[in-house]
Amino acid sequence: MPHTYDYPRAALTVDCVVFGLDEDDLKVLLIQRGQEPFAGRWALPGGFVHVDETIDQAARRELQEETGLSKVYLEQLYTVGDLGRDPRERVVTVAYYALVRLGDHRVQAATDARNAAWFAVDDPPRLAFDHDAILALALTRLQGKVRYQPLGFELLPPKFSLTRLQRMYEIILERPLDKRNFRKKVLSLGILEELDEVEQDVAHRAARLYRFDERSYRQLVKDGFNFEL
């Protein structure tokens, strides 16, 4: 059933940069396109915004449909609408980025049998459309934001060791951090709850596990603080 307007309208889409954390890499989730344009190329998961859903809802729906992911941390990134970014017609896309715990979710093949796979962010394949630029933008944003908001916990399992937490920051920020200073700083913030548990099945001394304490964090935000690493 056709829909008619007085002036031509751009198509509106969402695209999601989904970050996941590996033992030693930051990864991004890509899907392989089945159709033209860019058939066979890898691309960010995404799709059209329906007229009866918000943009956030569209992003979550597409993520669910194309990758099986739900209940992830999701944040709007930027809206790009350069002419010619889609060879077919004028398409404006609202880009999002998402953070997921790699272990939690088994990535499913997409609904229409397209491939989905994780790639290291520093060595991605050539992407469709202007998705390289969007990925780069998302990475910059993550690196910036992780320094003053505790986003990173979304990438870790609920219980984690301080070493794992430190590794996460080192991977995202792409620079080594001092172990003692890191612990001093992160513990002094008082947003970690020390658990009576340690790592299991490790071939060395087991590390104590911690949990992110959202309640203390909210308190901290109210009072004003500095999360810099």
- C-alpha angle with apex 8: 7 to 12, nearest 5 degrees? 125
Q: Which stretch binds DNA (CB under 7 A): 3-11, 25-33, 115-123, 172-180?
A: 172-180
What is the DSSP code string of 14-51? EEEEEEEE-SS-EEEEEEE--SSSSTT-EE-SEEEPPT
Contact 129, 85 (CB under 8 A): yes
Contact between 175 and DNA by CB under 7 A: the answer reads: no
Given the complex with DNA, which of 42 and 210 has the nearer CB atom? Answer: 210
Binder of residue 134, out of DNA, a second copy, none (CB less than 5 to 8 A by kind):
none
Contact with DNA (CB under 7 A) among 205, 215, 223, 224 = 205
Contact between 228 and DNA by CB under 7 A: the answer reads: yes
Binder of residue 222, out of a second copy, DNA, none (CB less than 5 to 8 A by kind):
none
What is the rounded distance in angstroms from the CA atom of residue 101 to the CA atom of residue 19?
9
Binder of residue 53, out of a second copy, DNA, none (CB less than 5 to 8 A by kind):
a second copy
What is the rounded distance in angstroms from the CA atom of residue 46 to the CA atom of residue 66?
8
Question: What is the H or E stretch that residue 221 is in?
Answer: helix 214-223
Residues lying near a second copy in the complex (CB under 8 A):
1-12, 48-55, 76, 78-83, 90, 92, 94
